[in-house]
Chain A
């Protein structure tokens, strides 16, 4: 059966999207992240309200939970690729889609399509909560700064998800992938910040941090948002490429 290649892409993308959307754990993760983010935003906001009035930045407090929020998206990325390997689904997938590089690439594309709106909603909900609670005490924020920050946060979360998916595809098992990624994002990276300040800016998470952090006067931003985006994107693309190369060479 010959199918034109553009039709092929739509078919594969549709299949990958459907697999993602029908994975119950994906929705559980996203819902859990959403709820957790609101709880954390509430905690950060009430901590912020105790501070001096008129000096708080709503964006900063609304996005303070990003550090924890990314865990949900790391899990999402890992689930998307590792779920193929539990129960041998991968063999069915590769029987119907025998173009391996193409398949993994489309999976990342489908993941991005699912992640972008969810990341935006979740990031925006934190900021919105902080905004509602603090509008009397905080500094006025401009709408375009807010949009810029939210776009940055959304792309950061999306890149993190794609990176996690690629690591998941490389390691093929949920637990090691989870340990490696969470270990990096929550333990190794914060420790490196203290001990090796010179190279920390070039890790995917710290570089990504500059994508959404509003520039502040008291600390020097080493990377501009664009540079941060570039470094994170480079990391993600490299790891996706490595994952695709391995996936093509390896036994399923």
Chain B
């Protein structure tokens, strides 16, 4: 528990984390608002084919915020300080204090999970109110089961970012890969056109938890299970690698 509190305090004191909070909390609402405005006429005319996902698209794209969170939580530990202030690494200090590597990883992952849940709840609140404000009575129904799916999607994505960064120790690659892959036209989407196997990629399966588009491949529950399996496997690999590895090399 003390390690968990320490991890929370470390996360909150990172300067870049505010970027994650800002993006996670408000970008979904902005995107949903823009999309609602663009779709409003079509919806009123009754010709919109995307009514069921208008608000949710913000939640799908706003996951960027927790990606930054998950990556920063790990990569900040590996930043080398300048040679003038000793050239130290935070990870060395962290592992001196919490000497069980497994506990350290667990505490960090729990801190990331808790913040992701908070962020996704805030994001849902802002998104739902923005959509309702613009679309009024035409706003899509926000069912609890789909919103829970969105929260799960955010948590799993944050943990994926976390796990990949434990392996790479550097934030650049996971940030680039994950930001691009959760953008408007994802690589997985393109791959899905080439092979059916791409539907089993974590992001493609995870989106099925709350976006019911025409090309949905899995049921929400199955999509969640597939994404969870990815997260679990990644965590086992990350934990083993982290356990066996020399601290900074």
Contact = CB atoms under 8 A, between A and B. Distances in A.
Nearest to A86: B80
A178 interface: yes
From DSSP, what is the main secondary structure of chain B's interface residues? helix
Contact of B175 (A32, A67, A173, A178): A178
B84 A71 contact: no
Nearest to A45: B194
Interface string B180-198: 1001110100110110000
Interface string B61-93: 100100010011001000111111001000000
B171 interface: yes
A91 B83 CA distance: 11
Interface in B159-201: 170-173, 175-176, 179-180, 183-185, 187, 190-191, 193-194
Contact of B72 (A47, A71, A86, A175): A175
B68 A179 contact: yes
Given A187-B64, A187-B184, A191-B34, A179 B23 contact: yes
A186 interface: yes
B37 interface: yes
B180 A88 contact: no
Interface in B191-230: 191, 193-194
B95 interface: no
B247 interface: no
Given A43-B190, A186-B183, A187-B61, A75 B34 contact: no
Interface of B: 16, 19, 23, 31, 34-35, 37-38, 61, 64, 68, 71-72, 75, 79-84, 87, 170-173, 175-176, 179-180, 183-185, 187, 190-191, 193-194
